[in-house]
Amino acid sequence: MPTDEIKIDFTEVKERKSRNSIKNLIEETGYHFKVFNNFWNHFERLENDITQNAIVISDLHSTINHCKRINQDTWKYKVQKNKPYFISIIRNKRDEREADLIDNLLKISNNRLTVIKTTRHFSTKEDHKELLEKLQKIIARNFNPEALEKVSFNKSEDSFIIEFNDSSFGEVSLKDLDIQNLKNDLLLDAVQISDQGNAIELFTKKGEIFDIDAQVLKSFISSKTKDQIEKETELTAQNVGNQIKSARKKNELTQKKLSELTNIDQAIISKIETGKHIPRFDTISRIANGLNITVSELLNIR
């Protein structure tokens, strides 16, 4: 993950004590940031390079004021083009007065905005913990080339249109994923990307989460990725079986229940677990989905 290329600007956290606290916290993370002080000047003048992929921490009212100075369509275009990420902090009554504008700001910022409510001086352990967690999620989601960047559902083709941070993109159908029989049970229009960018998440009509691993999706649009995954899973039949058996027991599932969850015959699952059958990649992904984990987690791939 190219954290040495991450630029960060926190100059518009107006209160010095809070600003210094944030600076110290960033230095303690171990990430390699390039701190700079002129994001907003370049962003408002529509200059490109220095604002590319920047993380901008500021008081909420400051973010709102900058937004008001820029045409909203221009703001939206700049965010989509240069992909900065905004962390806006609510610290005082002035910030609170702007809170009703958050939804619109989130919308025109293409969801690249996180809002944190803190103490006035950003001085408690809870404040520090929340900011650190947000930073880690932002980095995992936006600076990992293997993470998903965009997803939408194409109703006419019954497919997901996906794009990754490394600019690879494509279309993966429900048929490709072998879940077309679940179409009427899933809220496909509400598809979203997980916090870490390593899966897409769907809700069932019962309110449960159904997710699809990003590597599985990428295998359908990138032969290189599929070859890499299949190479990494070239284990002996016994090892594959042991991994699946261990994951099933950890989830306190019987072979029969896993069969029902994956629509894979129980006899096949038994053969896999006893090392008498090496499953295909699509079978492994179905078992992972049934266990509610990723393919990588199922096979303990690092």
Whether residues 15 and 57 fall in one domain: yes
How far apart, in whole angstroms, are the C-alpha atoms of residue 172 and residue 162? 8
Mean pLDDT of 59-75: 91
pLDDT at 31: 75
pTM for this model (two decimals):
0.61
Mean pLDDT of the chain: 84
pLDDT at 154: 93
Q: Which of 167, 193, 221 is the last residue before a domain boundary? A: 221
The reply to whether 228 falls in a domain is no
Whether residues 45 and 152 fall in one domain: no
Is the pLDDT confidence value at 257 over 70? yes
Give the model's confidence band at 62: pLDDT under 50 very low, under 70 low, under 90 confident, else very high.
Answer: very high
pLDDT at 162: 93
How far apart, in whole angstroms, are the C-alpha atoms of residue 264 and residue 283? 8
The reply to whether 226 falls in a domain is no
**pLDDT tens-digit series, residues 18-48:** 888 888 888 887 777 888 888 888 888 876 6
Whether residues 92 and 208 fall in one domain: no
Is the pLDDT confidence value at 253 over 60? yes
Whether residues 203 and 181 fall in one domain: yes
Cite the DSSP H helix spans in the chain. Answer: 16-28, 39-44, 60-69, 72-82, 93-97, 102-108, 125-142, 214-221, 223-232, 237-250, 255-262, 266-273, 281-290, 295-299
Any idea what the Cα angle at residue 185 is, between residues 180 and 186, rounded to 5°? 80
SS3 219: helix
Structurally, the chain folds into a number of domains equal to: 3
Whether residues 9 and 136 fall in one domain: yes
SS3 114: strand
Structural domain range at position 302? 233-302
The reply to whether 21 falls in a domain is yes
Strand order across the beta sheet in which 54-59 lies: 33-35, 6-12, 54-59, 85-90, 113-117
pLDDT at 221: 84
Whether residues 13 and 128 fall in one domain: yes
